[in-house]
Amino acid sequence: MRLWPLLVLAPLLAAAGPADRSPHQVALEQFGHLPTFSVDDVVPPTPEQIAAAQERDTGGATVMGYLPYWVAPENIPWDTLDILAWFSVGMEADGTLGGDHGWGDAEADAVIAAAHAVGASVVLSTTRFGGAELHPLLSDPAARSLAIDNLVARMLEGGGDGIDVDFEGLWADDRDNMIAFVHELRADLDAAQPGSLLTLATPAVDWNGSWDYDEIMVSADVLFIMGYAFAGTWSNPGPNGPLDPLSGTRSLRWSVQDYLQWGGAQNAHKVVLGLPLYGHTWQASSGDIGASSSGDSWSTLYASGLALEAEHGSSWEPISATVWSAWQDNGWWQAWYENAESIGMKATMAFDEGIGGFGFWALNYDQGNVDLWDEVTLAAALWDEDVVDPPVDDDDATPADDDDSADDDDDTPAPQNAPPLLVLDFPASVEAGAVVTLDASASSDPDGDALSFIWTQEWGPEVTLLDDDGATPRFFTYEPAEHGFSLRLSDGHNAAVEELFAVRVVERTEDADVDDSDPTGCTCDAGGGTGLLLLPLLGFLRRRR
C-alpha cells in the first residue's frame, strides 16, 4: 500500500499554515517529491462494481475525486465515481509544464482503463498556487496560449478525458484574465477532442471577489468547491468542513448557497461540493469545544481519525456535523475529523440545496472504509431518485413547455421566486474621527419583493450602528481598530443573502481636515470599499454586482 507515507509523515503538516495555503498546495509541498505509485497498486473495478455503475441513472449525482500521484489507487469506489482527477502536473509562469509524475506511463494507463470500464472519466489536473505566481501566466496572452497548447497536448498524449485547473490564490485583478483562460481552454479542448471535460477547483469562500462563477461556468463543466480548510494548523481546534457554522458565519452550506447565488440556478448542475477525507489534530488548552491551540498541530487523514476514535472515544458535534475526540497526554489534545455519518450528511445537504453532486480530497485517504462508501452510495442515490423524465407536452402541435395552450394541464413550470441581489459599498479604511456609512441601497430584488436589512457587528471594539434596520447605517469611529460586520439581506421568501466585511480605522494624520459632523464622514472616495487593501483574511469582502 502506497498510502503509508501520508500516515507516517502526517505530523510534518504541523508547519502547513497559514490559512491562505490550501491542502492541495500543502500536500504537494510535503509529499510531491515521492515517487508515483506503481502499476501493481492499481486495483481495477470488480464485476460487481461494473454492474453497479451501469445501473446508475444518467443525470444523477456527479461524484468527483482527486487522486494524488503518490497515493495508491487501491480502494477507489469505481461503482460510484464519475470523474477522477489525476493530481497533478505543475504549470510554470511562462506556460511550460512541470513533470508528468507518471501521466502517460503504465500507471496512468491502468487508472484510465479502470475508470473507462465503469464509464468514469479521468482528467489531468494542473496546479499553480498564489496570486503573484498566477499573475504573469494569466495576464500574458502568449503565456496563456502556450499553457493551453501544452495542457491539451499533454492530455491527449496520456489518453485523458479532459483537464482540471487548480489555480489557487487568484488576485481580483486577474479575474477577467482567468475568465479568458477558461474560455480559451474550452475552445481548444473542443477543437482537439470534442466532448472533453473541463473542471476547476474553486475556493469555499471567495474572499476578495476574484472568481466570476457564472462567467467561468459558461465554459466549465464542473466547479469543484474545495469545501475544507475552514480550520487547520493555523487555527484553533474546530471542524475542517462544517455543515453549518460552529462559529462565525461561513460553512459548507453557506458556500453552496453562495455558488448558487453568483453562479445562477441554470448552472447548479455544474457545482460539486468537495468534502474532506481528512481533519486535524491540535495540542489544545483544554478538552472543551472552543479551546485554543497551544502547540503542535497536523493534518489527520480519515483512516487515522477512525484510529483516534477507537483509542480515545469520540463526541458528535451536531451543528458542524463533525466527529471530535479529546484526550490528555502531557496536556490536552483535540482531533476533529470525518466519519461516514458526517460525510453522508454533507453530501445530502448538497442534494437538498440542488447542486450537481459532491466529491473528495483525496481518494484512498480512507483506506477503503466500507462504511464510508456505503454512505456515499446512499447519498448518490438521492440524485438518481430525483431524476425525472422530460415533460410531456399537452399539445402535439407545439413543442414541450409551450405555455400556449388553454388546457388546464398546461405543463409550463411556475416561475420561481429569485433571491435578492446584495450590493454593498463601504470604506475599507478611514481615519479616526470619521463617521462611516455602510451603503447597501443599491441592493435589489428581481421579483420586486420588499427587502429587510440586518446589520450585525461581528468583531472589534463595539460601536453603535445608527439606522441599523435600514440600507445605510452609520457609526462613529473613535480610535484605530478594525470593526467587522455582517449584513443579512432578506426578501422574505428565500434564504437570506449574507456578506461579511470589515472597516479598518487608522490614526488620524495631523493635517487631516475631517469634518466629524459630516453625516457621510468617509475620508476616502466612494469607491474605496473594493476590499483590495491588505486587510486580514476576514476583512475581505466579495463585492459582486
- For the chain, list the domains and their CATH numbers: 4-385 (3.20.20.80), 429-539 (2.60.40.10)
Identify whether the C-beta of residue 88 lies closer than 8 Å to the C-beta of residue 160: no
> 330-344 b/e with 16+ CB inside 10 Å = b?
eebbbbbbbbbebbb
Helix residue ranges, H only, 281-328: 302-312
**DSSP β-bridge partners for residue 357:** 62, 272
From the CB of residue 510, how many other CB atoms can be counted at a distance below 10 Å?
A: 5
Q: What's the pLDDT at 519?
A: 39
The CA radius of gyration of the chain, in Å to the nearest whole number, is: 25
Q: What's the pLDDT at 228?
A: 96
Q: 154 phi and psi, to 5 degrees?
A: -65, -40
Q: 10-residue block means of pLDDT along the chain (545 residues)?
A: 41 40 87 93 95 85 97 94 97 96 96 97 97 97 98 98 97 97 98 97 94 97 97 94 92 96 95 97 97 94 96 97 98 98 98 97 96 95 69 38 36 65 88 92 90 89 89 91 88 81 83 43 34 31 33
Task: Please enumerate in sequence order all residues whose Cβ is within 8 A of that of 264, keeping only pairs 6 or more positions apart, or say none.
Answer: 213, 214, 217
Identify whether the C-beta of residue 35 lies closer than 8 Å to the C-beta of residue 70: yes
Task: Please enumerate in sequence order all residues whose Cβ is within 8 A of that of 197, keeping only pairs 6 or more positions apart, or say none.
Answer: 83, 121, 123, 161, 162, 163, 221, 222
Position 36, amino acid: T
Q: Which helix (H) or strand (E) holds 179?
A: helix 175-192
From the CB of residue 14, how many other CB atoms can be counted at a distance below 10 Å?
A: 17
Q: What is the dihedral of CA 339, 34, 1, 17, to 10 degrees?
A: -20
CA distance 428 to 530: 7
Residue in the block written with cell 449584513: 487
Identify whether the C-beta of residue 274 lies closer than 8 Å to the C-beta of residue 225: yes
Identify whether the C-beta of residue 344 lies closer than 8 Å to the C-beta of residue 375: yes
Q: Which helix (H) or strand (E) holds 137?
A: helix 131-138
Task: Please enumerate in sequence order all residues whose Cβ is within 8 A of that of 171, keeping only pairs 6 or more positions apart, or say none.
Answer: 131, 134, 135, 208, 210
- The DSSP code sequence of 379-392 is HHHHHHHH--PPPP
CA distance 22 to 301: 15
From the CB of residue 413, how many other CB atoms can be counted at a distance below 10 Å?
A: 9
Whether the link from the prior residue into 191 is cis, omega within 30° of 0, is no
| Angle, helix 131-138 to helix 141-158, in steps of 10 degrees | 100
Q: What's the pLDDT at 355?
A: 98
Tell me how many helices (H) and strands (E) the chain has.
12, 19
Q: What's the pLDDT at 124?
A: 98
Instruction: Determine whether 399 is exposed, middle or buried from the number of CB atoms within 10 Å of its CB (0-12, 13-18, 19+).
Output: exposed
> 84-120 b/e with 16+ CB inside 10 Å = b?
bbbbbbebbbebebeebbbbbeebbbbbbebbeebeb
CA distance 270 to 215: 13
Instruction: Determine whether 138 is exposed, middle or buried from the number of CB atoms within 10 Å of its CB (0-12, 13-18, 19+).
Output: buried
Q: What's the pLDDT at 315?
A: 97
Task: Please enumerate in sequence order all residues whose Cβ is within 8 A of that of 187, keeping only pairs 6 or more positions apart, or say none.
Answer: none
Identify whether the C-beta of residue 236 lies closer than 8 Å to the C-beta of residue 281: no
What is the DSSP-derived secondary structure letter of residue 404? -
**DSSP β-bridge partners for residue 141:** none
Q: 146 phi and psi, to 5 degrees?
A: -65, -40
CA distance 521 to 476: 8
> Maximum CA pair distance of the chain?
79
What is the DSSP-derived secondary structure letter of residue 209? S
Identify whether the C-beta of residue 489 lies closer than 8 Å to the C-beta of residue 414: no
Angle at CA of residue 207, ends 202 and 209, nearest 5°: 80
CA distance 291 to 83: 39
C-alpha cell at 465: 450602528
Task: Please enumerate in sequence order all residues whose Cβ is within 8 A of that of 58, keeping only pairs 6 or more positions apart, or say none.
Answer: 387
Q: Where are the beta strands (DSSP E) in 329-385?
A: 332-337, 357-361
